[in-house]
Amino acid sequence: MEHTDVVIIGAGGAGMMAALTLAKAGRSCVVLEKGKHLSVSNAARAGGPSLADTLLQEEENCTVSAEMLFRHMYGFSRGTVDGGLLYRCIRNGRKVEALLRESGIQLRLTEDLYSVGFRARHFFETPAPQRWELLAKKLEEYGGRVVLNACAGELLTENGRICGVLAVDGQSGEQTAYYGKAVIIASGGYLGNEEMLKQHFGDITVGPLGSRLSDGAGIAMALKAGGMEDRSWGICAGEFGGYHSRMKGRFPGNMRWAMTGGLLVDREGRRFMDEQLLADQPLSVGGEVTLRAGSYYAVLDEAFYQGIRSARSVYDFYGRPEEWKTGKSALDRGPWPFPEDLERDISEGWAFCCGSLEEAAAHFSLPFLEETVTRYNAMCEAGQDTEFGKNSWLLKPVAKAPFYVFAYEPSAWCTIGGVKTDAFCRVLDRKQKPISGLYAAGVDNGSCYCAPYYDTEGACLGLAFTSGITAAEHILGNWSA
């Protein structure tokens, strides 16, 4: 049995920011981390957070105010999140930056890759393994600590209040009860729980690009304690390339065809989206559409394949349209693909090259493919997408053999969606009342993330960091002896 002021489940972005905030203020805390080392969380390996009102932005004369970032994100959410919570979190951006800098972590401000209109993302210059070790070292200096191999299994209650966590050592099996005045659940979602994924998204494959240790245990504990789910369930989709469970490498070059704006079809061979959405917003709207489709295919002909191969970049291939901002910022790089990869990808079973669309349709069981291509080619010839309204410069016919088809499944860096909280990260019961002593931060918090995922790059990590601080500050502000 151990006693501390606050028990935190998970040493990811939310958990570590909460712990640092509490310990710096003089409160004892223990962070229970299921992993064997510190850098197992999605946050420890992520590129960097989206933050507002930072010194780095001031230094580069491009400040993104909390009001600006809030208006953008809340508008994108269409009111499906707790606006008070979102705004309270966003205002903690400079505090996150300060804690990272105090720990010795270096940051740089990135460009506006997906053309949202401002530069909010702060990229980690310090390598992934080192930066979480620096956070843990700073936490120890403040008096907090991290316990590794600690699998939180049950919330402890006393007189109707959450008062601790019963954890099991993942190696020895020994149980330890950690008691405190409050518990913060920040266990990182449910990407490692196939049953939960299927519960929310159906009997499809969602490729886990992030930590599989995040198995929804924190969410389950909160629900068992009387909490309830919020409505927004989604993913932070993979944006560097496509995914298929048959592929053996990580982001092979030919997986990028889905991001090029060409023809995409669903599992029956029907067109199902404006393909530019996946090129322009792969993390958010585009990724959400592929999640809805469940599985999908990129279909292209020899002219398209060789055209992009011979061009300097995808943006060059389409003639560098000035109005295509994301094409210029995100797709003006290359060259690719590499022809030696194609044979390998075909052997793995997710790529196919053939002499006719009839062969392609038979190979992947796409009964409406030929009909779809005929209709699509007619729109290309007319220069107008009358189905989904894709920009005319992206309309390239699928007419010249050989034909190439690449199969995809949706993928995710992490899940979003979890338990409902109030504007201070306190977990709410079904009567909308806070459960005494229980908080949820990061992606276990279902009230500050929307589906689809925000179009702001780094929003997931930014909200994980800032919600951890929000929870910690409420505990500090309501401390009683």
N- to C-terminal Cα distance for the chain? 21
Q: Name the one residue in this structure whose structure tokens are 């908080």.
A: 439
Instruction: Map residue 73 onto helix, strand or coil.
Output: helix
CA distance 419 to 4: 25
Q: Following CA atoms 243, 247, 250, 255 in sequence, which dihedral angle do they give, to the nearest 10 degrees?
A: -50
Counting the structural domains of the chain, the total is: 2
Element (H, E) at 198: helix 194-201
Is 472 a domain residue? Answer: yes
Contact status, residue 226 vs residue 435, Cβ threshold 8 Å: yes
Answer yes or no: do 155 and 294 share one domain.
no
Answer yes or no: do 111 and 197 share one domain.
yes
Among the candidates 376, 409, 442, a domain finishes at: 409
Instruction: Map residue 405 onto helix, strand or coil.
Output: strand
Among the candidates 409, 426, 453, a domain finishes at: 409
Find the domain containing 200 and state its range.
Answer: 2-234+413-477
Q: Give the pTM.
A: 0.96
For the sheet containing 161-169, what is the strand order? 2-3, 175-179, 161-169, 150-158
Neighbours of 310 (CB within 10 A): 10
Answer yes or no: do 70 and 181 share one domain.
yes
Instruction: Map residue 282 onto helix, strand or coil.
Output: coil
CATH number (domain holding residue 398): 3.90.700.10
Q: Following CA atoms 470, 475, 478, 481 in sequence, which dihedral angle do they give, to the nearest 10 degrees?
A: -160
**CA 208-209-212 angle, 5° bins:** 55
Half-sphere exposure of 4 (CA within 13 A, CB side): 28
Q: Over its length of 481 residues, how does the chain's per-residue pLDDT go in tens digits?
A: 899 999 999 999 999 999 999 999 999 999 999 999 998 999 999 999 999 999 999 999 999 999 999 999 999 999 999 999 999 999 999 999 999 999 999 999 999 999 999 999 999 999 998 999 999 999 999 999 999 999 999 999 999 999 999 999 988 999 999 999 999 999 999 999 999 999 999 999 999 999 999 999 999 999 999 999 999 899 999 987 789 999 987 788 889 999 999 999 999 999 999 999 999 999 999 999 999 999 999 999 999 999 999 998 999 999 999 999 999 999 998 777 777 789 999 999 999 999 999 999 999 999 999 999 999 999 999 999 999 999 999 999 999 999 999 999 999 999 999 999 999 999 999 999 999 999 999 999 999 999 999 999 999 999 999 999 999 999 999 987 5
Answer yes or no: do 340 and 432 share one domain.
no
Q: Is the peptide bond before 49 cis (omega within 30 degrees of 0)?
A: no
Contact status, residue 10 vs residue 190, Cβ threshold 8 Å: no
Answer yes or no: do 161 and 73 share one domain.
yes
Q: What does the block give as tokens for 239?
A: 């944006």
Answer yes or no: do 455 and 399 share one domain.
no
Answer yes or no: do 199 and 313 share one domain.
no
Is 226 a domain residue? Answer: yes
Is 119 a domain residue? Answer: yes
